[in-house]
Amino acid sequence: MDSEFKRRMSPSLALVTIASLTPQPHEVYIEDENLRTLDTLDSPDLVGISVNVDTAYRAFDIAEEYRNRGIKVIFGGIHASANPDDMLKHCDAVCIGESEHLWGTILDDVMNRKLQQKYYYQGITDMTHYPLPQWSYISKKDYLYHNIVITSRGCPFKCEFCYNSCGYVQNIYRNRPIVSVLEDIKSLKNRQIMFIDDNLIGNMAWLSEFLDALIPLNIIWHGAVSTNLVKYPEIIQKMAKSGCRSLFIGFESINIESISSVRKSQNKIKDYEVLVKILHDNAIMVNASLVFGFDYDTRETFDETLQWLIRNKIETMTSHILTPYPGTVLYKRLLSENRIIDFDLQKYNTSNVVFQPKRMSPAELRDGYLKMYNQFYSIRNIIKRKTEHQKLLAPYFMFNLGYRKFGKITSFIGKLGLMNQIGQLGRKLSYGLD
């Protein structure tokens, strides 16, 4: 499931933001092992590593190389933040949660040789002074795109399988000032924008005003939203007018009992088809995010879901095996029920089964997940699901064929150093953008 696309899709906005916050006389450089082998023979004063669960072991190895030479290492990122005590076995310090109010203190402590083990800002980070990312810290040509923007922090919901259910999360939804986001967009000099918020629709009053401000920019944009968007058809119309062409939506499951079992109260399955129809009527493609392995899922769930996706002409689908990330409410529950069957963190990437499902075997869950991908992206079903909007045909086929069906071929081309050129060609063919 891990393609070259996924690893080279975009740079880390978190690392670019931290670099942009770093004052003189400090110097910062960013290394991305998705692109090339790391040079660990350098001699920085501090190494910061952003840690995801399935890359944790590699983070430990990198940290060990530096610490053996007396160089301090600090971990950050969602996995490190959710499990700081475990991380401290492999690093000198952990930055827990949002770092804007902590980074200056961390640098001062390094300079004064007083680095603490844990840094955690328990207040609410004010988005008013969110820095404009300085993209000069990375090489844009290495990535499919770098046109990523964040407008908010937090999510209104705390689903038990999400990191937002972890105790460290200050889950207060906050937006950046609109003028700041617009400045960010204009600085990219790109007419296609990816909004990578956890949930773009957490504040409808702010969003409505923001969409009004987007309309004159004449851009194409994409974002991620929750299913309660169905309550706001007028917002959907304004999204379309402002340039929205696709939305990533956490449907998670079409099984009402499964949704209820993980506290995803905002999802009303009876409204799913209504939401899809409104989006399609407004020429907005749907990328359905689905999770398999909930306690009420059975072997029949896969085929039922596939037929629902085809019937509703869902343009794209991202499938996941339910994964109990360490530190989440789901992990604690399954651990207490003795249902965690694999503790190898490398497998915690939503494409492996690491727990015992209730109504099927681990092998049945894995096989059903793979079958879902194969059948959804079969040539026959790609044609069946084809969008009815002429202006969306090019991006529809490029995603379904170039990214999914024949993704290995496209990924091979990307490995030749042509990832950014692929992105430019995709924008040109899909939306007529340079």
What CATH number does residue 189 fall under? 3.20.20.70
Cβ atoms within 10 Å, residue 313: 16
> d(Cα 420, Cα 369) in Å, to the nearest integer?
31
Cβ atoms 184, 132 nearer than 8 A: yes
Res. 380: pLDDT tops 80 = yes
Residue 361's pLDDT band (boundaries 50, 70, 90)? very high
DSSP 8-state symbol, 417: I
Give all strands (DSSP E) within 294-369, no chain letters: 316-321
* pLDDT tens, residue by residue, 18-49: 999 999 999 999 999 988 889 889 999 999 99
Mean pLDDT value across residues 275-303: 96
Would 434 be classed as within a structural domain? no
Give the model's pLDDT for residue 246.
96
> d(Cα 351, Cα 368) in Å, to the nearest integer?
11
**Based on the domain organization, do 188 and 309 belong to the same domain?**
yes
Cβ atoms within 10 Å, residue 273: 14
Q: Which of the listed residues 51, 85, 120 is the one where a domain comes to its end?
A: 120
**Based on the domain organization, do 51 and 151 belong to the same domain?**
no
Pick from 100-109, 184-193, 336-345, 401-410: least confident: 401-410
Specify the DSSP element, H or E, that contains 422.
helix 419-431
For residue 373, give the nearest of 322, 302, 429, 304 by alpha carbon: 302
Res. 344: pLDDT tops 70 = yes
**Based on the domain organization, do 257 and 293 belong to the same domain?**
yes
Q: Which of the listed residues 82, 101, 120 is the one where a domain comes to its end?
A: 120
**Based on the domain organization, do 161 and 289 belong to the same domain?**
yes
Give the model's pLDDT for residue 290.
95
**Based on the domain organization, do 94 and 211 belong to the same domain?**
no
Specify the DSSP element, H or E, that contains 263.
none
Domain limits for position 116 = 4-120
Would 390 be classed as within a structural domain? no
Cβ atoms 221, 395 nearer than 8 A: no
Q: Which of the listed residues 101, 120, 139 is the one where a domain comes to its end?
A: 120
**Based on the domain organization, do 116 and 152 belong to the same domain?**
no
Mean pLDDT value across residues 313-328: 95
* pLDDT tens, residue by residue, 213-258: 999 999 999 999 999 999 999 999 999 999 999 999 999 898 877 7
Q: Two tokens at 280?
A: 């399609």
CATH code of 29's domain: 3.40.50.280
To the nearest whole percent, how much of the chain has pLDDT over 70? 96
Give the model's pLDDT for residue 151.
96
Pick from 194-203, 253-262, 277-286, 372-381: least confident: 253-262
426 or 221, higher pLDDT: 221
Give the model's pLDDT for residue 126.
82
Residue 188's pLDDT band (boundaries 50, 70, 90)? very high
Would 303 be classed as within a structural domain? yes
Backbone phi, psi, residue 168, to 5°: -75, -15
* pLDDT tens, residue by residue, 75-117: 999 999 999 999 999 999 999 998 988 999 999 999 999 999 9
Would 89 be classed as within a structural domain? yes
**Based on the domain organization, do 74 and 164 belong to the same domain?**
no
Helices of type H across 174-217: 178-188, 204-214
Res. 2: pLDDT tops 60 = no
Q: How many domains does the chain have?
A: 2
> d(Cα 399, Cα 79) in Å, to the nearest integer?
30
Cβ atoms within 10 Å, residue 375: 15
**Based on the domain organization, do 108 and 153 belong to the same domain?**
no
Handedness of CA 197, 199, 202, 206 (dihedral sign): positive
Q: Two tokens at 193?
A: 């924008």
Would 322 be classed as within a structural domain? yes
211 CA to centre of own chain: 22
**Based on the domain organization, do 217 and 366 belong to the same domain?**
yes
* 3-class DSSP assignment, residue 347: helix
> d(Cα 166, Cα 83) in Å, to the nearest integer?
10
Q: Two tokens at 298?
A: 């059975």
Would 413 be classed as within a structural domain? no
Residue 3's pLDDT band (boundaries 50, 70, 90)? low
Give the model's pLDDT for residue 423.
81
Would 394 be classed as within a structural domain? no
Give the model's pLDDT for residue 267.
53
Query: Helices 178-188 and 204-214 sit at what angle, rounded to 10 degrees?
Result: 40
The pTM assigned to this predicted structure is 0.91
To the nearest whole percent, how much of the chain has pLDDT over 90? 70
Q: Which residues, in sequence order, are CB contacts of 336 under 8 Å at separation 6+?
A: none
Tokens 């091979």 -> residue: 412
**Based on the domain organization, do 67 and 179 belong to the same domain?**
no
Q: Across the strands, what pairs with 223?
A: 247
> d(Cα 243, Cα 8) in Å, to the nearest integer?
25
Give the model's pLDDT for residue 264.
53
Res. 65: pLDDT tops 70 = yes
**Based on the domain organization, do 92 and 227 belong to the same domain?**
no
Would 32 be classed as within a structural domain? yes
Please, what is the average pLDDT of the chain? Answer: 91
145 or 55, higher pLDDT: 55
**Based on the domain organization, do 236 and 108 belong to the same domain?**
no
